[in-house]
């Protein structure tokens, strides 16, 4: 048995989900991997929030240094979201030799060079499976099993909140605002849902995917992006009349050294596999020059699916160190 102590930065929806999944599956993980994982410190101001699970008060701290300087903590999970202080905290942990796991696509997409330089300096591991596609293990697939391929295209539905809204508007005639509120209540949306509905969250994810698939850094701000805020019930009815549904599609194509990309609401014929991707589910298509087409499908948002990816990274790192 190997005891592994973990520091958690942020206990919002995903942090709480990760704590709960670890509690639920601790015995299974111990039995199958020999790893005794324990979250021993949590950086969080909202100590008294009802999280639906008893959490010992003494593991909460309001001082990041308590986690950074705890020699027993070898892995830090960053779930604060946003650029700062998340990026600086990750850098400091990595430079100090602590391994970092994050779901923070905004920080990974914008500050990739800073974070990876810190990991190199500290000889630490950095994992970010949960940053793209929620519970779909796409980062792992791209960086391991598919790495013998030249990947020429990556496309799909990469945001659970907008897909949930479009599904509820299309299938149940719900108003945009009502569907967004539901997505927020279910823990799919970002703290500021503008990032979801205006497509910036997808831009972060497509930027990360293109870095991994094409070896090309395209900053999220440089990806032509249209969100779903202008989609009306009339647009949805018009798509329906043509045998289609509207989906927010991300697309990146590599042609030699050139990369083209965009994010936009798109009419998808109801016979197309992407039309069947509903609610918070995401789907990702890749084209590799050996494997040909690959499609991955699963829950792209929500506390438990995202926790699955976070803890998968933690287990992988804990096995390696």
Q: How far is the CB of 243 from ligand HSE (least distance, A)?
A: 27
Regarding 17 and contact with ligand HSE (CB under 6 A), the answer is no
Minimum CB–partner distance for residue 132 and ligand HSE (Å): 8
Q: Is residue 86 part of the contact set for ligand HSE (CB under 6 A)?
A: no
Nearest 5°: the CA angle 228, 232, 233 is 130
Binding ligand HSE (rule: CB under 6 A), the pick from 13, 159, 167, 279 is: 159
> In the window 114-153, what residues touch ligand HSE (CB under 6 A)?
134
* Joined tokens for residue 273: 């596999």
CB of 27 to ligand HSE, least distance (A): 28
| 300 lies in the binding site for ligand HSE (CB under 6 A) | yes
Label residues 132-162 b or e (16+ Cβ within 10 Å = b): bbbbbbbbbbbeeebeebebbbbbbbbbbbb
C-alpha to C-alpha distance for 97 and 92, rounded to whole angstroms: 9
Between CA 195 and CA 206 the distance in angstroms is 14
Q: Do 20 and 53 form a contact (C-beta atoms < 8 A)?
A: yes
Annotated catalytic residue within 41, 98, 105, 205: 205
Q: Residue from 7, 160, 227, 298 that binds ligand HSE (CB under 6 A)?
A: 160
Q: From the list 190, 225, 297, 317, which residue makes contact with ligand HSE (rule: CB under 6 A)?
A: 190
Q: List the helix and strand counts (H, then E) for the chain.
A: 11, 11
State the DSSP string of 225-240: B--STT--HHHHHHHH
Distance CA 254, CA 73 (A): 41
Does 201 sit near ligand HSE (CB under 6 A)?
Answer: yes
Smallest separation (angstroms) from ligand HSE to the CB of 79: 12
270 is catalytic: no
- Of 254 and 299, nearer to ligand HSE (C-beta) is 299
Tokens in use for 154? 């990556």
The residues of the shown chain that bind ligand HSE, judged by CB under 6 A, are: 134, 159-161, 188-190, 196, 201, 300-301
Q: Which residues are catalytic?
A: 205
């Amino acid at each position: 048995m190997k005891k592994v102590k973990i520091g958690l930065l942020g206990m919002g929806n995903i942090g709480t989900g990760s704590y709960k999944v670890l509690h639920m599956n601790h015995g299974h993980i111990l039995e199958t991997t020999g790893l005794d994982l324990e979250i021993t410190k949590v950086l969080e101001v909202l100590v008294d929030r009802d999280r639906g699970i008893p959490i010992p008060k003494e593991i909460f701290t309001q001082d990041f240094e308590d986690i950074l300087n705890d020699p027993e903590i070898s892995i830090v999970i960053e779930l604060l979201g946003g650029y700062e202080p998340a990026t600086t905290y990750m850098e400091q942990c990595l430079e100090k030799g602590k391994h970092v796991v994050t779901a923070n696509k905004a920080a990974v997409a914008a500050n990739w060079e800073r974070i990876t330089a810190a990991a190199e300096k500290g000889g630490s591991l950095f994992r970010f499976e949960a940053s793209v596609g929620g519970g779909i293990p796409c980062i792992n697939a791209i960086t391991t099993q598919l790495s013998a391929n030249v990947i020429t295209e990556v496309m799909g539905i990469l945001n659970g909140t907008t897909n949930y809204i479009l599904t509820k508007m299309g299938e149940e005639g719900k108003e945009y605002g009502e569907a967004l509120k539901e997505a927020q209540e279910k823990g799919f949306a970002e703290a500021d849902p503008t990032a979801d509905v205006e497509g910036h969250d997808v831009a972060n994810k497509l930027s990360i995917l293109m870095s991994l698939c094409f070896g090309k850094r395209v900053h999220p701000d440089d990806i032509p992006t249209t969100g779903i805020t202008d989609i009306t019930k009339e647009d949805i009815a018009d798509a329906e009349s043509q045998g289609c549904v509207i989906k927010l599609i991300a697309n990146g194509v590599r042609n030699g050294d050139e990369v083209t990309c965009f994010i936009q609401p798109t009419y998808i014929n109801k016979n197309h596999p992407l039309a069947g991707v509903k609610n918070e589910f995401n789907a990702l298509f890749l084209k590799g020059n050996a494997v040909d087409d690959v499609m991955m499908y699963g829950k792209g948002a929500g506390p438990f699916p995202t926790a699955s990816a976070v803890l998968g990274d933690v287990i992988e790192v804990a096995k390696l160190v």
